[in-house]
Amino acid sequence: MIIQLQNQVAEADRKAIIEKIKSFRYKVTPVTTQRGDYLIGIGKAEFDIRSLGHMPGIKDLHIVSDDYKLVSRKWKVNPSVVDLGDGVEIKQGNFTLMAGPCSIETEEQVEKTIAHLVANNVRIMRGGVFKPRSSPYSFRGLGIDGLKMFYAKCQEHGIKIITEVMQVSQIAPMYDYTDIYQVGARNTQNFNLLDELGKVDKPVMIKRGISGTIDELLYSAEYVFSGGNEKLMLCERGIRTYETASRNTLDLNAVPILKDKTHLPVIVDPSHGMGIRDYIEPMALAAVMAGADGIIYETHEKPEEAASDGAQTLNFAESEQLVKKLRATYELRQKLG
């Protein structure tokens, strides 16, 4: 169950509520987020909801049958809004585009990408400075100095940025130079990282694990949300299956399922999802019709020279065409209702 407490609840009332919940043999976890104070009760016993519902100090009480609670749409029917400022809002009802290279490489690269985004009215740029790589001998990103350059350039042109955080110790140094912390597919169940991102007052996007279930993604979201950070969105980016014809299997089924189960925005990453340039466009358009609230994809002036992921990266001409088609497709989806 989720109990939302009244603002400035009296401590005695709060204690009485906690005692009452414990009397049902439920475990109580107090949660304070940017938007309110909650008590999460976890247990299985039947109890008389009326004995609880009328206690002083309770603003709202929901029974949520899912194992995740605060991210469930059974608790919060209205879709969540992640506000980045300057009129950039990620939410159901908007259509969000995030584009940019796999890795931040040079100032020139960032500038050219920004020009491309501005020309196409894309407001969020992606780009990695900490790169998770299977092999220790691969390029691992420009690090925090690269991030500072990347952020400064984007600030100049009103572009927000999303970039991957790989470990707890990076959260603080990145804080002043990022708009959205991205949790990558290898860290979806890095629970310490999720715990700490729950304490931050900045948006977070969690990618689904490489072979993560939809429920596990929702549990990971629950870590951040119950840690205190409601500025949260989810990302489908392809799963691992037996099929080897594509790098991953972009699982668009996850989109309507997630939209049904949670109030959080759902973004789709067709670049990592497929891994093959020629198929990015049809899968991105498909993702829109499946119900995605946004698309994140890789673009680079010269994909064949990119430091990483060139094979799945669009050049700017392809990117421009994709943006137009995505918006036309989203418009149709809105019209069809």
Residues from 73 through 132 that contact a second copy (CB under 8 A): 132
Per CB under 8 A, does 287 bind a second copy?
yes
What type of residue is 326? Answer: L
Is there binding between residue 239 and a second copy (CB under 8 A)? Answer: yes
Residues 39-58 that bind a second copy (CB under 8 A): 40, 42
Choices 67-75, 83-91, 95-103, 295-303 (CB under 8 A): range interacting with a second copy = 67-75
282 touches a second copy (CB under 8 A):
yes
Nearer to a second copy, 60 or 331 (CB): 331
CA angle, corner 230, sides to 224 and 232, nearest 5? 70
Distance CA 103, CA 66 (A): 38
User: Which residue, 80 or 187, is less far from a second copy as judged by CB?
Assistant: 187
Distance CA 48, CA 176 (A): 48
Minimum Å distance from CB 90 to a second copy? 20
Stretch that binds a second copy, among 93-101, 145-153, 233-241, 306-314 (CB under 8 A): 233-241
22 sits near a second copy (criterion: CB under 8 A): no
Q: How far apart are CA 315 and CA 304, in angstroms?
A: 9
Tell me, letter by letter, the H, E, C secondary structure of 274-323: HCCHHHHHHHHHHHHHHCCCEEEEEECCCHHHCCCCHHHCECHHHHHHHH
Measured from the CB atom, the residue of 76 and 140 that comes closer to a second copy is 140
Determine the size of the site formed for a second copy (CB under 8 A).
Answer: 77
Residues 193-222, mask of contacts with a second copy (x by CB under 8 A): xxx-------------xxx-xxxx--xx-x
**209 near 190, Cβ under 8 Å?**
no
- The reply on whether position 241 binds a second copy by CB under 8 A is yes
CB 180 within 8 A of CB 124: yes
Per CB under 8 A, 30 contacts a second copy: no
* Cα–Cα distances in angstroms (integers) from residue 135 to residues 130, 138, 190, 271, in the given order: 14, 6, 20, 21
228: left (phi over 0), alpha (psi -120 to 50) or beta: left
Q: From the CB of 114, what's the least distance to a second copy, in Å?
A: 27
* Out of 11, 45, 134, 304, the residue judged to bind a second copy by CB under 8 A: 134
Q: Work out whether the CA dihedral 84, 87, 91, 97 comes out positive or negative.
A: negative
Q: Could you say whether residue 63 binds a second copy (CB under 8 A)?
A: no
Asked if 253 interacts with a second copy (CB under 8 A), we say yes
Closer CB to a second copy, residue 102 or residue 125?
Answer: 102
Does residue 71 bind a second copy (CB under 8 A)?
no
Q: Does 20 bind a second copy (CB under 8 A)?
A: no
Asked whether position 33 contacts a second copy by CB under 8 A, the answer is no
C-beta separation of 66 from 72 below 8 A: yes
Q: Which is nearer to a second copy, 84 or 284 (CB)?
A: 284
Pick from 240, 305, 317, 334 the residue near a second copy by CB under 8 A. Answer: 240
Q: Which pairs from 73-77 meet CB under 8 Å and 24+ separation?
A: 73/260, 73/261, 73/262, 73/263, 75/2, 75/263, 76/263, 77/263
Question: In the numeric block, which tokens belong to residue 11?
Answer: 């401590």
Could you tell me the smallest distance in angstroms from the CB atom of residue 121 to a second copy? 18
